[in-house]
Structure 1
């Protein structure tokens, strides 16, 4: 077969062919070649066949690889999750692992972005045409990434609930149900007082699932007739715990139960109780919202409700692949429900015969 003399030949040490070479050989405009590759504009079957034939003859390979030529897809999903200094990277791992597992099960790869870049990061990734869809985690109530995601002509699933999802699918965990289970545990085991370790500064106001947790704990304690206090930290870190320790332990001698919302907070309270020579499960109770793996990592395993990170990620990926496969319909909001509470060594039984 004759070869266009203008077309480079890598076997002869020349540069790789370009889309301009493909356009010249196919007898079409360069923009038509781009339309065939991207699928963003209708191209007649005859013209598409000429372009694809020219690609094969020239052995033309765009950056996204040969599969993109056949399907106009990259088979790559962009996962945006923040792993900065205040994030609990260990707790993020099962979310990320399950997303990667589900992607590979569908013959997709995952590009992971772990820096909080705001909308610019989303726009940059989409502009490079290296992914077919986005999963965006750690969504805040007022999240400037949501409008940028809304503008993409790609499937997007948000993990976390913004005030306005702008027509995007949303997956979250039912933290109201989790807080209710934790308070119920302390109620049925005879506690008179509950102290919930709160957030530093205005952190509580940033995420819907955090607001839900504290509101539900307060409402449930009132239903049981138990005194509950949410004790905010004046600042983040261990120093913040130390600063509010006396308030947390005000009722240490009167059937006190402590509730934590994060693994890191649980770790800090275990340390605090050790420093104050209090044994969780005997002198006071400690119940946490953390994974089973985290709860079992302590010398005295923690009574806990799991946030079920793998179930959250599995649901997010199911919704995403339904959209990738062409599912239409209104945007969806789906909550993963807690499976239940596991009583472990840190629940003290302050009941008759306990």
Structure 2
């Protein structure tokens, strides 16, 4: 069964019963007609700035909230955005929070609520979400390279935007971090620091087997950069969660003797365990070897020692996705011609990489 969670909840803390404020009350206080109140709220007609200010002041004074059901019937809009985020095994649920927070914030700025769909029902969940007219548009996350939901999403009666880039987007708009560029940036940095061998510590088996789109895209960028620099690149995957998985991964990182390698950790959940295992073995990132993480700046600063990272830019990705989504909802606006938009990452040096030569 699909789990629907409303992210925007209004709570009346008055404790007593009171008459519901209506648009008629707003019109009376503002000294305008009820239809004018409706036009101000819907934006369907041009209203003078002075009249708009009077209506908005009355709305604020009366703390008026339009009835969602009545508004939906009148406009044939629900004012709701569906956000599909399957919490699958191996998923970085902490890393999802900046995306969810930003999407909810952008929705509220546009007077929309967000309906969070948290169960993984695949295409059936999408059909139910659109078929019941529960939302005006859908944002899909956790996109697989060969995602069976995409052909179905392309046929829905509501706009759909993807955060992620599948092999075939079926004509849907996609927004994501430029993961190939992120992979190249990490290897470029390690090569510049003098490392001739790079080891990429990968993801859990569940993520690898599902073919989540960004995993292969990041590795392709890293592979291209390693080839360009003449650097040896190895991928250690899958990596089990927790200390045991980090121990096994570090064993493989150190299996080849000689010069210490440059390490890339694109799985933020493995970052602290890998750092801890290295330090327990007397190897200090930033002194004995270099380590670069693919994660948010907040996650990079939260570990010990603070990690050099290539940023995920979740808020920039989410904001751009919502901008395009509202363009798709507004029939008066033309959506962007390009179907795939990639947000550039940033590399921030902290304590886990060797000093620049």
Q: What range describes the TM-score normalised by the shorter chain of this pair?
A: 0.7 to 0.9
Q: Aligned runs of 1:57-206 on 2, under 5 Å?
A: 65-201=69-205, 203-204=207-208, 206=211
Match of residue 296 from structure 2 = 291
Q: Give the whole-Å Cα distance in 2 for the aligned partners of 1:349 and 1:190.
A: 10
Does residue 332 (structure 1) correspond to residue 336 (structure 2)? The answer is: no
Match of residue 344 from structure 1 = 350
Task: Quote the offset at 1:251 in angstroms.
Answer: 4.5
Task: Quote the offset at 1:275 in angstroms.
Answer: 2.8
Equivalent residues of 1:190, 1:255 under 8 A apart: no
Match of residue 12 from structure 2 = none
Q: How many residues align?
A: 288
For normalisation by structure 2, the TM-score amounts to 0.75
Q: Give the whole-Å Cα distance in 2 for the aligned partners of 1:251 and 1:308.
A: 34
Identify which range, 143-152 or 301-310, moves more after superposition.
Answer: 143-152
Match of residue 228 from structure 2 = 223
Q: Give the whole-Å Cα distance in 2 for the aligned partners of 1:85 and 1:139.
A: 14
Match of residue 306 from structure 1 = 311
Equivalent residues of 1:84, 1:114 under 8 A apart: no
Q: Give the whole-Å Cα distance in 2 for the aligned partners of 1:342 and 1:178.
A: 12
Structural RMSD (CA): 2.1
Does residue 247 (structure 1) correspond to residue 268 (structure 2)? The answer is: no
Task: Look up the SS of the partner of 1:129 in the other structure.
Answer: coil
Task: Quote the offset at 1:208 in angstroms.
Answer: 3.1
Task: Quote the offset at 1:200 in angstroms.
Answer: 4.5
Identify which range, 129-138 or 80-89, moves more after superposition.
Answer: 80-89
Task: Quote the offset at 1:253 in angstroms.
Answer: 5.0
Does residue 232 (structure 1) correspond to residue 246 (structure 2)? The answer is: no
Map Cα deviations across residues 19-43 of structure 1 (whole Å, 9 max, x no partner): xxxxxxxxxxxxxxxxxxxxxxxxx
Equivalent residues of 1:252, 1:284 under 8 A apart: no
Q: Give the whole-Å Cα distance in 2 for the aligned partners of 1:286 and 1:170.
A: 30
Larger radius of gyration: 1
* 4+ residue segments displaced more than 6 Å: none
Task: Look up the SS of the partner of 1:65 in the other structure.
Answer: helix
Task: Quote the offset at 1:236 in angstroms.
Answer: 5.2
Equivalent residues of 1:168, 1:331 under 8 A apart: no
Q: 1:120 to 1:185 in 2, by over 3 A?
A: same
Task: Look up the SS of the partner of 2:156 in the other structure.
Answer: coil
Q: 1:341 to 1:311 in 2, by over 3 A?
A: same
